Amino acid sequence: MVKLVVAYGAPEDTTAFDQHYASTHIPLVHKIPNLRRFESGKVLGTPDGAPAPFYYLAELWFDSAQDLQAAMGSPEGEAAGADVANFASGGATLMIAET
């Protein structure tokens, strides 16, 4: 399996981020074809108490890298990707990991 990990930087308005993410972005993510698992949540901190480098994390799991590519290139995947600009004022770092 592979997963797309999205790490969101601290947004300018955390309330607006949280509301948009819950009401708009998550429903878009759930429409992505071949998505096997989705998890997301706020970063609480670091083990040593230092400020966290990210505000929010999301993981989108797929059976293979090919499935991930096809899913993100689909109309549903493109819609979810395009939506990021609507709420992620702190930026988003995308990484792909093999599990």
Using one digit for the tens of pLDDT, what is the confidence trace for 55-77?
Answer: 999 999 999 999 999 999 999 99
Given the structure tokens 């792909």, which residue do they identify?
96
Which one of 3.40.50.300, 3.90.1150.10, 3.40.50.150, 3.30.70.100 gives the CATH number of domain 2-98? 3.30.70.100
Coil, helix or strand for 89?
A: coil
For 33, which DSSP code? T
33-42 pLDDT, tens digit each: 999 999 999 9
Distance from C-alpha of 18 to C-alpha of 13, rounded to nearest angstrom:
9
Phi-psi region of 91 (alpha: psi -120 to 50; beta: other; left: phi over 0): left
pLDDT interval class at 54 (50, 70, 90): very high
Mean pLDDT, the chain, rounded, equals 97
